[in-house]
């Protein structure tokens, strides 16, 4: 289990200002270690990634809104998340880890605290219990009436059996980190074709994140840019952007978060496109008050 800062604390402003109401659709936070213990087998912890540090980062970027995504280090204990949402205020919502052990009463409490999504983590590096198919369907049926979205972290796995499982679910479904792309195949990647097909169904969304860290081309990440531009062309109203701060399990040089907004400008050179990705699309799916 790692315990060190994975982010550049000296966040620089992006080259181009972002519009008011911009949203970072995925960050993680950690609470005080004495009050919010992590799982003993957690894949990582970043105790420096407090809600205050996250808010400082967003202030430097010009970001007004955000979605705090539950770290697998906490399992489905959302105490640190609830504390962070309370501290961050109404411009921040949450996405948690929900399964059969989450009671109906807990769901009500989580919703009242600002939770608006349930995430299913399939990435093997996260050391979490893999979601069980029947349990995923049960969870989807429980959270959909609350207006929640579903979120899939599919890196390093075959996405089709999982996405097929949710074919009849009508709730919005977000695919994290541009999907489980195999960058060495470029636009010929069958996983990329599959994500594009899902985007054609109307309730599937994709998160533009981690393109820099998964690129095989390296800076300035032309391979990630090619994927992102195709996603934007395919579903301009169902594309989101996130920093994935504090960049857990990053194996290479961690970018300054200002660089990631500069990368978004390469993904979406048109200011109208960026406004949609940063403001309109998050408002549509997350329903900020």
Active site residues: 244
Give me 83's structure tokens: 């504390």
Note the helical H segments in the chain: 51-61, 79-88, 104-113, 133-143, 160-165, 190-199, 211-214, 222-234, 257-267, 271-275, 281-286
DSSP letter at 103 equals: -
Q: Are 26 and 243 in contact (CB under 8 A)?
A: yes
Q: Are 27 and 69 in contact (CB under 8 A)?
A: yes
Tokens 């504090």, residue? 246
What Rg, from alpha-carbon coordinates, does the chain have? 17
From residue 127, alpha-carbon distances to 124, 176, 234 in Å are 6, 17, 33
The answer to whether the Cα torsion of 11, 174, 150, 18 is positive or negative is: positive
Nearest to 242 by CA among 269, 221, 212, 270: 212
How far is Cα 205 from Cα 21, in angstroms, rounded to an integer? 20
Residue 27: beta bridge partners? 68, 245
Sheet containing strand 65-69, edge to edge, reads: 23-27, 65-69, 92-96, 115-121, 149-153, 173-175, 204-208, 239-241
């Amino acid at each position: 289990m790692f315990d060190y800062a994975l982010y550049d604390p000296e966040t620089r402003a992006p080259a181009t200002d972002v519009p008011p109401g911009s949203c970072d659709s995925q960050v993680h936070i950690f609470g005080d270690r004495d009050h919010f213990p992590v799982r003993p087998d957690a894949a990582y912890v970043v105790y420096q990634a407090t809600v205050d540090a996250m808010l400082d980062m967003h202030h430097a970027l010009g970001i007004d809104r955000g979605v705090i995504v539950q770290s697998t280090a906490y399992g489905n204990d959302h105490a640190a998340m609830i504390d962070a949402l309370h501290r961050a205020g109404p411009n921040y919502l949450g996405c948690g880890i929900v399964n059969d052990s989450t009671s109906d009463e807990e769901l009500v409490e989580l919703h009242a605290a600002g939770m608006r999504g349930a995430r299913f983590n399939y990435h093997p590096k996260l050391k979490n219990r893999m979601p069980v198919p029947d349990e995923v369907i049960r969870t989807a049926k429980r959270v959909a009436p609350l207006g929640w979205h579903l979120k899939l972290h599919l890196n390093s796995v075959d996405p089709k059996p999982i996405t097929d499982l949710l074919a009849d679910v009508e709730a919005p479904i977000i695919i994290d980190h541009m999907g489980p792309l195999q960058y060495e195949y470029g636009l010929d990647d069958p996983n990329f074709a599959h994500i594009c097909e899902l985007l054609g169904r109307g309730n599937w969304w994709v998160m533009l994140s981690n393109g820099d860290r998964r690129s095989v081309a390296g800076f300035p990440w032309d391979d990630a840019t090619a994927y992102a531009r195709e996603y934007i062309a395919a579903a301009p109203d169902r594309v989101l952007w996130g920093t994935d701060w504090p960049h857990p399990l990053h194996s290479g040089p961690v970018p300054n978060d200002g660089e990631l907004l500069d990368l978004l400008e390469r993904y979406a050179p048109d200011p109208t496109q960026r406004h949609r990705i940063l403001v309109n699309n998050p408002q549509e799916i997350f329903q900020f008050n």
